[in-house]
Structure 1
Amino acid sequence: MSKNYVQIDPRDNIIVAINPLEKGRVTTINGTEVTLKENIKQKHKFALNDFAVGDEIFMYGVLIGKAVKSIPAGYAITIDNVKHASAEFNDSKEKFTWTAPDASNFKGRTFNGYHRKDGKVGTSNYWLVIPLTFCENRNIDVLEGALSEKLGYETKKDFAVDTDALIKQYKAGASSEEIFNTPIITTKEELSKNRLFPNVDGIKFLKHDGGCGGIRQDSEVLCQLLAGYIANPNVAGATIFSLGCQNAQISMLQDALDAIDPNMGKPVHYLEQQQSESERALIEEAVKHTFVGLTEANKIERQPAPLSKLVLGLECGGSDGFSGISANPALGYASDLLVALGGSPVLAEFPELNGVEQELINRCNTVEDSKKFYNLMRAYSAAAVAVGSGFENNPSPGNIKDGLITDAMKSAGAAKKGGTSPVVQVLDYAEQVTMPGLNLLCTPGNDVESTTGLVGSGCNVVVFTTGLGTPTGNPVAPVLKMSSNTHLYEKMYDIIDINAGTVITGEDTIASMGEKILDHIIRVASGETASKAVVHGNNDFIPWKRGVSL
């Protein structure tokens, strides 16, 4: 890009400042000269022409707001002079055609993954320990303490303390000097080298605050989500804790698993505390079931798989004014490449599709899906209004500070993650991805709730674009963080995997960055490169509650 300012779409009547622009500067856009009337901060926008109160404002070629004050050309677009506005939409779709990008550079490429009996392929190999109700979270903690460090898996810190070595020295009659000379610190790297089960990437403990106390529908959806995690190709099997009296019954989870695939073939062990002779017996049984499950999971080794087996979650969070110009469209190009190769990208965060609904409706392959998307968006919007809010309240203070001042502006940039391909399926929360091609999944805009939902619907890898930085990860799927700007990448290099800021500086095009993203995804999916979120143990897991608490 390497410009000081840019008009993203020829229909746009506001201009993005790529670098800070000083008052008095003369800008030229498509032959039109505009003198800046005030300083324009980097990532923010200025008026290309004069706006009267009520005039419509366009960016990315779509309606993103209306003027609430008169705005002369050359003045900044702010939350004080613009309010949210988005285009109307209906459930009737127009004809849509798509030309796939050239994916020849990836023809014949494979990734090394874990093949499952149901035909899916994982990018990781985990065992899950899951409570059906928050009442069992303490038992989950006990199991984690008994297994994780002892088997060489992650700790809560960057190191583990081997107190047993000091006890052994003391019992042997060691002197104080000998005790002080005894090494007791083991790093995460050293622990991983000593894993008893080298083909198992870890044991993940999915604690949550649901399963009882809310409406029955929330427990049903929770069971569907948990079933999706068990069915995820990155999972080898699971140990399930039930209290016994909660809303989320074992039978409910079993029904949800059968609905996904009654012949999945994964071991799932159910333990109900109210039927156990004691808590001690419950824990003992859980440890033994999990240990035996790990021995079986360890027999699975990585084998080559086609890229069509990749189910790619598309996520963004901590967005800035560059997200919709660099990171999101580059990820969209990678999504289109994956579609051309037979894979399945998944676009979520329905509140952040506000204003581009009609475009997505038109891209749906079937009338049924276009109507389903229409109904989900209308229902979600109505639910937000019913509690005294609305999609217009979506931008966070960080978004606004860095140039995203309306939900429609944020949404138009966020939707770029989905590329340009047809929509093959529209899914409600916790429904499973079953078709190759671009899928739409109804989730909240909340970063962790959305990522949790993406993985629960079958994503085996996630790319998360950000302009401000976030450490978010997931227990089951590797989450690759991609920065929209180089400053963020250099400042938070320890948690960012990919830098799309080179699109802003002109070192990369959207297409070349898109190819780099897909190449990085393949290396992570093969276990050759670990995502920063995995390295740091970011295991964020928040199920979405759609009802009230009773």
Structure 2
Amino acid sequence: MKHSVLKVHPQDNVIVALSDLSENQEIVYEGLRYILQEAIPAKHKFTTTDLAAGDQVIMYGVLVGKTQVALKAGSLISTSNIKHASTDFKVSEQQTSWTAPDVSAWKQRTFDGFHRADGQVGTANYWLVVPMVFCENRNVEVIQEALLNNLGYGRNENYQFQAKELMSLYQKGAGVNEILNAQFTYTEQVQKNNRLFPNVDGIKFLSHTGGCGGTRQDSQTLCGLLAGYITHPNVAGATVLSLGCQNAQVDILMEEIRKRSSHFDKPLYVLDQQRIGTESDVLEMAIRQTFAGLIQANQDLRKPAPLSKLCIGLECGGSDGFSGISANPAIGYTSDLLVALGASVILAEFPELCGVEQDLSNRCLDKKDAERFVDLMRTYSSRATAAGSGFDMNPSPGNIKDGLITDAIKSAGAAKKAGTSPVVAVLDYPEKVNKAGLNLLCTPGNDVESTTAEVGSGANVVLFTTGLGTPTGNPIAPVVKISSNSRLFSRMNDIIDLDTGPVIEGRETIQQAGERILNYVIEVASGKQEVKAVKHRQDDFIPWKRGVSL
């Protein structure tokens, strides 16, 4: 039966509106009656009891804020009457017990992936072109222009067609109104069949603004991130462009590569512009070597692999008031299924774990990991506060408008992405995942920086939930976009892959949605299903400088 409201946890003193509710409307839920003091928009919350100023607001069973004024039962909570608050946390000996879900239906399932010499299995097969410093970005662009369209990896040509048609109309005398109202018929542009190297999914160019200036720590960290991409199972090999004098030296990159792959044997071409000389010599050599690398990469073929070879990043962006009760817990159940199957999953975005630190600390199997998690959270929080931008400033205007009015509310819902399994490791950016199970990775809450980091740490597929809509993708790993509500999925289904709106509507359980998502992941990992971000070449790549970023 579909309800108009939902109480997420028995201890909560707020209730979520699943649809727009009117002032003075009577709500009956679990045998109790509530008279609404004002209109409650869908995704927002109202109080279940009278609250005095300074009282705690509880949601998801945790402290998410404190009232600033007295509120009657049935009142809308908003930024004007509650402020962010969360409980303190510490390392304890307590560990939560875990009952793994039944995975008998998936025990014999496999995906078709690219098997690498180090035992990793990729869900795609890319060649990378990597600049060590921003000074090389222009050379990277020249190589990109030379290779992509000629080899069949270009973008959709419909927009080029539109520009040419507009030029033609203008040359024929069309004015502003005719241009604005012009209609065009687009056709789906499919280039895959025209690829010279059909077993190579693409050539990806990791342009960035780092590598020199800044701190030496930033350069070391950048080298670690780039090494994570070069050694990634979705990558067949790489061309590296170095100016020569930058902080991010090639020998640092090679050291970081060896940390992640002690017997690294992928094709790797490194060009030092200051040693080679002229720009034309560098570009000619880079194009020739990249082409040779593509010949080698094209020899790789997909073969069956167990689901334990999957490493899944858990991400959210453009969240709304439904994210924590539909999309996030749905991929949380998917996460639990994968952990039970021996796979790895990554939960990141540390500013969005504010208020649930104790639960995650308690879930750490090793006390040292619990101590590291607590230390990373406290250090990150203190640095943010010192910069005048604490975790309480994390929710975006879009988050707040759609019901996530404190960081603790946002965080408690975001943490649902991790399901209920134990934490096997706590990693600092940009360390690599080396253990099967749930891994915590310190990253910002910024969705592109965090997705970039998760893939750099080994995620070969990313599950990305959204309530407001976002095109975010990644150069080398498929990013599966999952909407928290059906209205969003209908409005923006050109960039969103799956919908968990049926959970809100009472037509599907969290478990059913999680199982549906896992089946979709297997298709994506096998190359049988192309996600929207890959289709649109949404190659977002933003390294994290260890300054404050929320």
Deviations 1:473-509 (A, max 9, x none): 0001000100000000000010110000010111110
**Post-superposition offset of 1:40:** 0.6
SS in 2 for 1:263: coil
Give the distance between the partners of 1:2 and 1:319, measured in 2 at CA. 23
Deviations 1:86-142 (A, max 9, x none): 011002241321001111221200000000000000000000000000000000001
CA contact under 8 A between 1:65 and 1:408: conserved in structure 2? yes
**1:405 corresponds to 2:402:** no
Unmatched segments (≥5 aa) in structure 2:
162-185
Which residue is equivalent to 2:462?
A: 462
Deviations 1:129-176 (A, max 9, x none): 000000000000010011111111123754778xxxxxxxxxxxxxxx
**Post-superposition offset of 1:277:** 2.7
List aligned pairs for 1:310-459, cutoff 5 A. 310-459=310-459
**Post-superposition offset of 1:262:** 2.0
CA contact under 8 A between 1:154 and 1:202: conserved in structure 2? no
SS in 2 for 1:255: helix
**How has the CA–CA distance of structure 1 residues 301 and 40 changed in structure 2, closer, same or farther, with 3 Å as cutoff?**
same
The alignment's C-alpha RMSD in Å is: 1.5
Normalization by structure 2: what TM-score?
Answer: 0.94
**Post-superposition offset of 1:31:** 3.4
Deviations 1:294-322 (A, max 9, x none): 00100000000000000000000000000
List aligned pairs for 1:98-117, cutoff 5 A. 98-117=98-117
Which residue is equivalent to 1:256?
A: 256
Give the distance between the partners of 1:543 and 1:374, measured in 2 at CA. 24
**1:28 corresponds to 2:62:** no
- Match for 1:88: what amino acid? D
CA contact under 8 A between 2:496 and 2:532: conserved in structure 1? yes
- Match for 1:314: what amino acid? L
Which residue is equivalent to 1:179?
A: none
**How has the CA–CA distance of structure 1 residues 333 and 232 changed in structure 2, closer, same or farther, with 3 Å as cutoff?**
same
Of stretches 152-161 and 58-67 in structure 1, the one that deviates more from structure 2 is 152-161
CA contact under 8 A between 1:159 and 1:187: conserved in structure 2? no
- Match for 2:280: what amino acid? R
CA contact under 8 A between 1:159 and 1:188: conserved in structure 2? no
CA contact under 8 A between 1:240 and 1:269: conserved in structure 2? yes
Of stretches 536-545 and 188-197 in structure 1, the one that deviates more from structure 2 is 188-197
**Post-superposition offset of 1:264:** 2.2
Give the distance between the partners of 1:191 and 1:77, measured in 2 at CA. 51
**Post-superposition offset of 1:404:** 0.5
Which residue is equivalent to 1:281?
A: 281
- Match for 2:361: what amino acid? I
SS in 2 for 1:149: helix
**Post-superposition offset of 1:188:** 7.5
**Post-superposition offset of 1:24:** 1.5
Deviations 1:323-367 (A, max 9, x none): 000000000000000001010110000000000000000000100
**Post-superposition offset of 1:194:** 0.8
Which residue is equivalent to 2:12?
A: 12
CA contact under 8 A between 2:155 and 2:536: conserved in structure 1? no
Of stretches 276-285 and 348-357 in structure 1, the one that deviates more from structure 2 is 276-285
**1:514 corresponds to 2:527:** no
SS in 1 for 2:253: helix
CA contact under 8 A between 1:154 and 1:188: conserved in structure 2? no
Give the distance between the partners of 2:363 and 2:138, measured in 1 at CA. 47
- Match for 1:49: what amino acid? T
Give the distance between the partners of 1:159 and 1:189, measured in 2 at CA. 11
List aligned pairs for 1:263-278, cutoff 5 A. 263-278=263-278
SS in 1 for 2:376: helix
Give the distance between the partners of 1:446 and 1:44, measured in 2 at CA. 23
Of stretches 539-548 and 112-121 in structure 1, the one that deviates more from structure 2 is 539-548
Which residue is equivalent to 1:41?
A: 41
Give the distance between the partners of 2:365 and 2:154, measured in 1 at CA. 44
Of stretches 188-197 and 442-451 in structure 1, the one that deviates more from structure 2 is 188-197
Kindly tell me the number of residue pairs found equivalent between the two proteins.
525
SS in 1 for 2:399: helix
**1:486 corresponds to 2:460:** no
Which residue is equivalent to 2:206?
A: 206
SS in 2 for 1:76: coil
SS in 2 for 1:128: strand
Unmatched segments (≥5 aa) in structure 1:
162-185
List aligned pairs for 1:13-162, cutoff 5 A. 13-155=13-155, 157-158=157-158
Normalization by structure 1: what TM-score?
Answer: 0.94
Give the distance between the partners of 2:362 and 2:534, measured in 1 at CA. 37
Which residue is equivalent to 2:496?
A: 496
Give the distance between the partners of 1:93 and 1:210, measured in 2 at CA. 41
**Post-superposition offset of 1:79:** 0.5
Give the distance between the partners of 2:159 and 2:202, measured in 1 at CA. 16
**Post-superposition offset of 1:11:** 0.2
